[in-house]
Amino acid sequence: MVVDAVSGVEIGLEPAPAGLAPPTPNPATARVEFSFHLNQPGQVRLLVCDVRGRLVTGWQTTEASAGDRRIAWDFRDREGRSVAPGRYFVKLETDGYSVTRSLIHLPG
């Protein structure tokens, strides 16, 4: 519990159900790795979107166990085509929680 010094109100701080590390390497040219941690089992979606918010690729599982995960991406879209250099966003979604990180894809 944390007590707000001004109002005296107790604020309960619960840990986030998941965490997404910054993509590595970043910026990247040929391959990037996404690392995330689940504090509890549940459905997970990891999405890569372009700057306009369009889905480029993604991964989904209906029931993942708690723990650490890593996913590598080779800068190809859902149809297997190479994506253009630029800024992308990776978003982790699980059980009503989401976190987003930025990624720069450099020309190779």
User: At residue 8, does pLDDT exceed 80?
Assistant: no
Handedness of CA 33, 37, 40, 46 (dihedral sign): negative
Going by their DSSP bridges, the two strands 32-38 and 18-20 should be labelled as antiparallel
Q: How confident is the model at residue 5 (pLDDT cuts 50, 70, 90)?
A: low
- Alpha-carbon distance 84 to 106, whole Å? 9
Six-digit token pair at 36?
A: 């995330």
pTM, rounded to two decimals:
0.83
Six-digit token pair at 8?
A: 């005296």
Contact 60, 47 (CB under 8 A): no
What is the per-residue pLDDT for 37? Answer: 94
Residue 39: C-alpha distances to residues 2, 33, 63, 94 (Å): 21, 20, 13, 10
What is the per-residue pLDDT for 32? Answer: 98
Q: How confident is the model at residue 11 (pLDDT cuts 50, 70, 90)?
A: low
- Alpha-carbon distance 102 to 88, whole Å? 6
- Summarised one tens digit per residue, pLDDT across range 29-78 is 999 999 999 999 989 999 999 999 999 999 998 888 999 999 999 999 99
